[in-house]
Amino acid sequence: MAFPSLFRASSRPAGGRRAGLRGVVLAALAFGSGLLVSNNPFRPSSTNPDATARGYLRFKEVLSYVDRDYVDSVNTEGLADYATTQMLERLDPHSVYIPALEREQNDAFLQGDFDGVGIEFNLFRDTMTVVAPLGGGAAAQAGLLPGDQVLRVGGAPVSGAGLATARITQLLRGPRGSTVALEVRRPQPTKTFTLNLVRARVANSSIDAAYLVDEQTGYIKLSRFAANTADEFRAALADLRRQGMARLVLDLRGNPGGYLDRATRVADEFVAGSRKIVSVDGKGDTYDAQTYAKVPGEFEEGPLVVLIDEGSASAAEVVAGALQDHDRALLVGRRTFGKGLVQQPIALSDGGELRLTIARYYTPSGRSIQKPYGGSRAAYRRELSERAARGELASADSNHVAAGPRFRTDSGRPVYGGGGIMPDVFVARDTLACSAYFTRLQAHHVPRALALAFYQAHKTELEGLRFAQFNATFRVSDAQLTALAAAAARDGVAPDAAALRRCAPLLRNQLKAYIAQSAYGTVPYYTVLREQDAELQRALHSLGDGNTQLALAGNK
């Protein structure tokens, strides 16, 4: 399709990945997910009370002397925070202290809803730019569009002000029923206006997409295990079944985990009878538990493929491990993160929160998924990059997890513990997607920014097309890719003509998907992305074979 130009010289780049809470918490949750929900009031240690008391008195005494006699004034609360953090680093990589000021932001990711105006945004060149107004929110009802630039929130400047995403989120949120004014600049055609929005409840769904790929094949993208995930997931499954779904792809790639009980309820939708889903084993028997399937699930029979990768962690690994151990699903992708520790969130008197590792979880066959963590936390964080350096993301044969303890699935297939979940079908990571040039483009948010600019410039033409027409006819030209490279160069990404040619198929697909999302919504976005998604294509191929159980049997 021949639109005049993908980018106009007057368009201001607005780039970016998905914003708000979804875009900033993956690393944090990978080090703090797999949460148990329960009350744990403070009580002294009963196993070693004397040593605990001596340690407490020693710290209290030292802190008191520092506060009273040290030559310079000191922030004693800051010192206590530092001491707490250092103490927890002697335990494991997932026991953490969250200060009161950060607790709300950490908790928000796992909430099922929040009070606000409903804007997904990114900061592009220090400009707050709307990626999408959330459905049903005040911003969408007021007519805010993707690509609109917000200059002020409640009188406070948010563009060109050097504010962090978290601070802008605080300004947008507030008590339900309260009003906030947004000063907005619309680039195409250029105009500035003010919207007075009433904050209301905004759904914070953990399901990014749920739709039929074809008449029989369902696809569900699950981003995390939050407060409402189990109910949302069951409703999505039921809706797809009503539409005729007979087989399913469950996408857990990049899912960092969340609430353990929500994960077991999701697994229960696929596991029949009363088979075990997960075991939790802690000190003594206080936290020991075994969770079994207990309700009739929405999809206990029928071909099922689960997509996993190195970003699938914690509660996501519980689901994948249970379905693999019971030979219920074919796992496609790459080895998961390897987090098999369970955290107890404990509210502290200062408003902060201690997330303390209180148990390990085990898959039905007895596998511990937790990877080794004997070294420093820095070394633990480097483990994923070291996998890439060893070639693990390019070849199944390079994965060392097969040297771990061996277990058997229900049908006798060998599976291994001690370092994540290995897929049944390995798919190498796309080397172009992690190439230096492509990665720099993403870091500077260039493709998203220019796709939003295109949508703003051509929304009238797009409104006159059905998505099917757009998808069949729209193409990103070579000239438009050259314009993208020029915009990137203005943002500090050095030109690389050879790298641009190599990345061209991915960039064309990505730009088209971003435009489709702005013009037509979430499902069209994923529909376009599917063309360059190697793991999903392999999953669909497995389902197309007609019987994923044959593929499972072939792995005995």
325 is catalytic: yes
* CA–CA separation, 400 and 104 (whole Å): 39
Residue type, 236: A
The DSSP output letter for 542 is H
| Catalytic residue chosen out of the listed positions 92, 309, 325, 327 | 325
Q: Quick check: 522 and 475 in contact, CB under 8 A?
A: no
Omega before residue 189 within 30° of 0, cis: yes
Round to whole Å and give the CA distance between 488 and 442.
10
Phi, psi of 471 (to 5 degrees): -65, -35
Q: Taking a C-beta distance cutoff of 8 angstroms, is the pair 442, 393 a contact?
A: no
Contacts of 552 (CB under 8 A, 6+ apart): 327, 330, 411, 413, 424
- Ranges of H-type helices in 365-443: 377-390, 436-443
Q: Which of 393, 373, 254, 406 is nearest to 316 (CA)?
A: 254
Cα separation of 227 and 466, whole Å?
Answer: 35
Q: Catalytic pick from 339, 424, 512, 518?
A: 339
Residue 1: Cβ-neighbour burial (10 angstroms; 0-12, 13-18, 19+): exposed
Known catalytic membership, residue 314:
yes
Which residue in 503, 494, 502 sits closest to 447, CA to CA? 503
What is the rounded CA–CA span in Å between residue 440 and residue 257? 27
Q: Is 400 helix (H, G, I), strand (E, B) or coil?
A: helix
Exactly one of 312, 314, 518, 542 is catalytic; which is it?
314
Is residue 185 within a helix (H) or strand (E), and if so which, with residue range?
Answer: strand 179-186
Kind and range of the H or E element at 196?
A: strand 191-198
Catalytic residue list contains 327 = no
Distance, in Å, from the CA atom of 460 to the CA atom of 244, rounded to the nearest integer, reads 35
Cα–Cα distance for residue pair 307/320, rounded to 1 Å? 9
As a whole number of angstroms, the distance between CA 446 and CA 437 comes to 12
Rounded to a whole number of angstroms, the CA Rg of the chain reads 25
CB atoms within 10 A of CB 145: 18
**Coil, helix or strand for 114?**
strand
Residues designated catalytic: 314, 325, 339
